[in-house]
Amino acid sequence: KNQVEQSPQSLIILEGKNCTLQCNYTVSPFSNLRWYKQDTGRGPVSLTIMTFSENTKSNGRYTATLDADTKQSSLHITASQLSDSASYICVVSGGGANNLFFGTGTRLTVIP
Amino acid sequence: KAGVTQTPRYLIKTRGQQVTLSCSPISGHRSVSWYQQTPGQGLQFLFEYFSETQRNKGNFPGRFSGRQFSNSRSEMNVSTLELGDSALYLCASSAETPAVGELFFGEGSRLTVL
């Protein structure tokens, strides 16, 4: 069964600290993996899109990694800011019919 | 470049009523896809339209329907509303099929069913 699982469900960190969010998937065949940031009450915004051949991609303080062999991805946030408080959603494309499979997200809260 | 516009942003309906939500994609994008987001289930794919044709459909009952116009604007309709239909409905536009191209989401329509 094609699934995307994210951990942890929620996370609280101090401003300025780093954190890492995890995404494990069973989607096969694999096409690409995306990370989105969703502020409360807003639509998701794309952070990165990674294909099979890419194992690291950065967008400012956000760095995503992909290990297609173990079917794992992580999103590392460096020097967190209060504005990083949001839900982070991992989405995997694939499954033969080129569908999108969504994780349920990690809720990150950055406190001063 | 204007983003994806969804209307209305908020609406309250009662059980049994129907609702129509609208989505205007980014200019030049011909693919519009719709998603339901609830706290318990996360984002779930409803359907995707490309050049006025439904290309893909998620696992939702027939009460959920949509259409796309020649200018790429899209509407989705939910008939005979149930309490469980309360959710944030998001649309996204893309220059390519959603599974390949980057998705640009609107701010969503928050539906509350009483």
Dmax over Cα atoms in chain A, in whole Å? Answer: 45
B90/A104 Cβ within 8 A: no
Contacts of B97 in chain A (CB under 8 A): 98
Contacts of B90 in chain A (CB under 8 A): 43-44
CB-neighbour burial class of residue B25 (10 A; exposed 0-12, middle 13-18, buried 19+): buried
Q: What mean pLDDT value characterizes chain B? A: 94
Q: What per-residue confidence (pLDDT) applies to B27?
A: 94
Range from A8-12, A91-95, B7-11, B70-74 carrying the lowest mean pLDDT: A91-95
Mean pLDDT on B79-89? 96
DSSP secondary structure letters along A19-71: EEEEEEE--SSEEEEEEEEE-TTS--EEEEEEETT--EEEETTEEEEEETTTT
According to the model, what pLDDT value does residue B40 have?
Answer: 78
The reply to whether residue A100 touches residue B45, judged by beta carbons under 8 angstroms, is yes
Chain B interface, Cβ < 8 Å to A: 4, 41-45, 56, 90, 92, 97-100, 102-108, 110
pLDDT value, residue B1 = 63
What is the pLDDT, as a whole number, of residue A98? 67
CA distances from B88 to A84, B37, B41, B69, B107 (A): 21, 5, 11, 23, 9
Tens digit of pLDDT at every position of chain A (112 positions): 889 999 999 999 999 999 999 999 999 999 999 999 999 989 999 999 999 889 999 999 999 999 999 999 999 999 999 999 999 999 999 887 668 899 999 999 999 9
> Quick one: pLDDT at residue A43?
94
Nearest Cα residue in chain B from A6: B42
Q: Which residues on A lie below 8 Å from B105 (Cβ)?
A: 36, 43-45
User: How far away is chain A from the Cα of B4, in angstroms, using its nearest Cα?
Assistant: 10
Report, as an integer, the average pLDDT of B5-22.
97
pLDDT tens sequence across B32-62 = 999 999 987 889 999 999 999 999 899 999 9
**What pLDDT sits at residue A76?**
98
- Sorting pLDDT into bands at 50, 70 and 90, what band is B99? confident
Report whether pLDDT(B72) > 90: yes
